Amino acid sequence: MRLQITCLAAGALTAAVALTPVQAQEGMGIGIMVGEPTGISFKNWLDNTHAVDAGLAWSFSENSSLHLHADYLFHDFTMLKPTDLRGRMPVYYGLGGRIKFESSGGGRNDRDALVGVRIPLGVAYYPEHSSIDIFAEIVPIMDLVPDTHADINVSVGARFFFK
């Protein structure tokens, strides 16, 4: 039963991200993230300061398993002004959710998927006249299902944007 609910929630989360319209800023991007988790990263700008990101990745913590997440992000382009770099460097923060699917490795998600809330904090770099971004983020997580447990993810990555 929990697996069915988890799969339904994952499908709804993925559909919400995929159906979000591209309106401004940089369009939709796809790339990679390395760390915890490691996999494919997506980002879709909603306007000049708001975006939705998502990840389809493999989590290596405790016991390895599939990890899906999606976040709503706010970007502040005024906090960091790179003097030696040509481009923009926003600080971003947001709120989202994650699902780490069940695994048979004997860890917390041995019999149940982990479902939790994410609070991403990061910095990105958008080189001038380029269609890429480079990012680094730290993400506190509070798993709520099947039990309450705090965790943290850290990753770096890059994405190519389609305008």
Residue type at 73 in one-letter notation: L
Diameter of the chain by CA atoms?
Answer: 55
Given a cut of 90, whether residue 30 has pLDDT beyond it is yes
Contact 156, 124 (CB under 8 A): no
Given a cut of 50, whether residue 6 has pLDDT beyond it is no
Task: Report the pLDDT value the prediction gives residue 102, as an integer from 0 to 100.
Answer: 87
Given a cut of 60, whether residue 23 has pLDDT beyond it is no
Please, which residues have CB within 8 angstroms of residue 31's CB and are 6 or more apart in sequence?
Answer: 40, 41, 132, 133, 157, 158, 159, 160
What 8-state DSSP symbol labels residue 22? P
Beta bridge partners of 138: 121, 154
Domains of the chain, residue spans: 2-162
The class that CATH gives domain 2-162 is mainly beta
Given a cut of 70, whether residue 21 has pLDDT beyond it is no
- For residue 26, name the pLDDT band (cuts at 50, 70, 90): low
Task: Tell me what percent of the residues of the chain surpass a pLDDT of 90.
Answer: 66
Task: Tell me what percent of the residues of the chain surpass a pLDDT of 70.
Answer: 82
- Least confident window among 26-40, 83-97, 101-115, 140-154: 101-115
Rounded CA separation 102/25 (Å): 37
Per-residue pLDDT of 116-126, as tens digits, reads: 999 999 999 99
Tokens of 58: 């493999």
**Strand positions, DSSP E, the chain:** 28-36, 38-45, 50-59, 65-76, 87-88, 91-100, 114-118, 121-127, 132-145, 149-162
Per-residue pLDDT of 44-60, as tens digits, reads: 999 999 999 999 999 99
pTM of the model: 0.81
Per-residue pLDDT of 71-91, as tens digits, reads: 999 999 999 987 888 899 999
